[in-house]
Amino acid sequence: MCGIVGFTGAAPAAPILLEGLRRLEYRGYDSAGVAVQHEGAIEMVKASGTVEHLAEMTSNGAALEGGCGIAHTRWATHGAPTDTNAHPHLSEDGRFAVVHNGIIENYAALRRELEGEGYSFASETDTEVVAHLLERYYDGDLRRAVMRTASRLEGSYVLGVLCACEPGRLFCVKEAGPLILGLGVDENYFASDVTALVGYTRNVIYLEDGEMAELTPESVTVYDRTGREIPKSVSHVVWDIEAAEKGGYEHFMMKEIMEQPRAVKSTIEPRIRSGRVELEGLDLTAEDFARFRRIVITACGSAYHAGMVGKYVIESLCRVPVEVDLASELRYRDPIVGEDTLLIVVSQSGETADTIAALRECKARGAYVLAIVNVVGSTIARLADCALYTHAGPEIAVATTKGYTTQLSALYLFAVWAAEKLGRIDEMRYNELVAELSALPARIQRAIDLNLHVKYLAGRWHAQRAMFFIGRNIDYAAALEGSLKLKEISYIHSEAYAAGELKHGTIALIDEGRLVVALCCQTALFEKMVGNIQEVKARGAKVLGLAPEGDRRIFAEADDVLFAPGGEPLFAAAPEIVPLQLFAYYVARENGCDIDKPRNLAKSVTVE
């Protein structure tokens, strides 16, 4: 979703800002723009289309002189993705430029008020009111003008502000949505995401909601809502720039699929010491645990699918009821959550607006919050009572792969840890599960190695108009994710169903030649799946079976076959998703789709 970058220093700002925007492209956007201070005025270039287009328009930034500026990639919400609606937006007198992420909910009332005072608007955006408010409130004190402007806004907003008459000075404001300050030597930055900063500095400050920062080349000062200066600690980012580059792969998605064994190892290995699962920071005792009568898992998209798998695994091992709820639903349904609830929040980015809102809602009702999150220092990590980081490294492709498998790994670790704390598994089973956890990276690597023919199968099936994914139990949860992978990057309509549900309606959709992907990795349910496979075949479907390696029974049932290495069935979702990720990838590639940046999607959904 929208990306923001700001820079102030001695170097020309525009090339640095453009490079920052390139690093934010993965978040999803449809227009881009840049504004710099130059000789007491603001120079601005913006257009719909790509950052590369913007770079061409500005000779890679060389056409814009000046060492202080702001830039933006916009994902349209209010108004179409046109040149005019692209950010930055200027005040009527041209002295203020503003970039904005989020939604200003009271913009219509503000716009009416400003129009009544004679301000005229150039765009359809909610953002433009900010530029006009700055002009109205500026009396020579930019900090006060920014504060007064922010106090008029309702909704979620992260702002970057540039003023023609304040050389080298930038302001940024955070009210829901990520914003990070980067500290350099005689130069400073802000950005929505550390990936925009790591090429320049690893020293960062994470801002909280209600905070505002003032940047000059020599200083960074953070204020609260009342304008009081507040001390902030500096964090060191461990990701390096290579981690956010393609490393020879055609797409980030393929790179990230291949990184999964290493990523899952980073999630699991540090947490197993001398054969015991140790979850640092999660210092709940067995007595603390006993107060939780239920566990609620909340998340969006693939993270929600990981939560579905978590439900099966936690309930099976811990015998505690687990509910999984979409964050966008949980936040508005007056949930039955209290001090007896352990809320597990799952998020790769840690910045998903609905997930943050659900977390806040449940925390206010007394729930204890455990976050399973990838991005260190993200909003979700900071709001939770404790965080279990997945350590997947930066995930750039919009379609999550290693984000999902590392979330599964964290949920498996938690389930084994909690089952032991609650005394629900004996020592033998515990040791067995710990060994299975340690073996997971190798199992995922084997899943990659086993499926070299996925490309060929994608060539066979890529022209399907629609596909179905079916499975039972954990296979059903994995089917949801396999189906989402396919639809989001290949635009082929696809649905996932609990296999036993087919005959309650969905089977009416099965027609001659329709592909049904049947997940059969829960060996105890294999025969049940055979029944469902036969049902769809009898109605003309073709079946792509996914079974544990070496289970030759699948050959008698399916037209084509994929394998996932066998092992503990409770942990099957992590290896079995790999061939489905590869299948989605190659189908999308066959169909010429923009794999890393699918249409209409954003990596980090920071608005509701």
Question: Binding residues for ligand AGP, per CB under 6 A?
Answer: 300-303, 347-349, 352, 355, 398-400, 488, 604-605
Distance CA 268, CA 272 (A): 7
* Annotation marks residue 455 as catalytic: no
Shortest distance, position 253 Cβ to ligand AGP, whole Å:
9
229 DSSP 8-state letter: B
DSSP state of 270: G
Distance CA 205, CA 235 (A): 6
Least distance from C-beta 302 to ligand AGP, angstroms? 3
Nearer to ligand AGP, 244 or 398 (CB): 398
Number of separate helices (H) and strands (E) present in the chain: 19, 26
Rounded CA gap, 224 and 230, in Å? 7
Nearer CB in complex with ligand AGP: 258/399? 399
Spatial separation of the C-alpha atoms in residues 251 and 589, rounded to whole Å:
10
Between residues 388 and 502, which has the closer beta carbon with respect to ligand AGP? Answer: 388
In 91-189, alpha helices (H)? 107-116, 128-137, 142-152
In whole angstroms, the minimum distance from the beta carbon of 568 to ligand AGP comes to 25
User: Whose Cβ is closer to ligand AGP: residue 279's or residue 346's?
Assistant: 346
Measured at the CA of 327, the angle between CA 258 and CA 155, to 5 degrees, comes to 110
User: Catalytic: 603?
Assistant: yes
Cβ neighbours, 10 Å, residue 69: 29
Residue (113 or 495) nearer to ligand AGP, CB:
495
Give residue 97's identity as a one-letter amino acid code.
A
Round to whole Å and give the CA distance between 480 and 499. Answer: 12
- How many Cβ atoms from other residues are within 10 Å of residue 87's Cβ? 29
Residue placing its CB nearer to ligand AGP in the complex, 332 or 555: 332
For residue 197, the Cα-to-chain-centroid distance in whole angstroms is: 18
| Other CB atoms within 10 Å distance of the CB of residue 361 | 20
Cα–Cα dist 107/274, whole Å: 57
Report the alpha-carbon distance of residue 405 to residue 481 in Å, rounded: 11
Residue 587 Cβ vs ligand AGP, minimum distance, rounded to whole Å: 15
Q: What is the closest distance, in whole angstroms, from the C-beta atom of residue 363 to ligand AGP in the complex?
A: 17
Tell me which of 2, 163, 520, 593 is the catalytic residue.
2
Q: Which two tokens stand for residue 494?
A: 């696809």
State which residue has the least CB distance to ligand AGP. 301
Reported residue count of the chain is: 608
Radius of gyration of the chain (CA): 25
Query: What is the CB-side half-sphere exposure of residue 187 using CA atoms within 13 A?
Result: 17
| Cβ closest to ligand AGP, residue 477 vs residue 525 | 477
Amino acid identity, position 167: P
CA distance 134 to 146: 6
Lookup: tokens for 370: 């455990």
State the Cα–Cα distance between residues 577 and 27, nearest whole angstrom: 23
Q: Of 35, 55, 6, 50, whose CA–CA distance to 158 is shortest?
A: 6
Per the structure block, which two tokens stand in for 531?
């029944």
Cβ count near 52 (within 10 Å): 14
In angstroms, give the least distance from the CB of 182 to ligand AGP.
22
* Residues 221/8, Cβ–Cβ less than 8 Å: no
Beta-carbon contacts of 385 under 8 Å, excluding residues fewer than 6 positions away, are 368, 369, 370
To ligand AGP, the closest distance from the beta carbon of 403 in angstroms equals 6
**Closest to ligand AGP by CB, 169 or 251:** 251
CB of 585 to ligand AGP, least distance (A): 12
- Identity of the residue, 160 or 301, whose beta carbon is nearer to ligand AGP in the bound complex: 301
CB of 530 to ligand AGP, least distance (A): 31
What's the rounded Cα separation, in Å, for the pair 347 and 100? 23
The catalytic position among 174, 255, 542, 603 is 603
Q: How far is the CB of 315 from ligand AGP (least distance, A)?
A: 22
Tell me whether residue 301 or residue 441 sits nearer to ligand AGP (CB atom): 301
As annotated, the active-site residues are: 2, 603
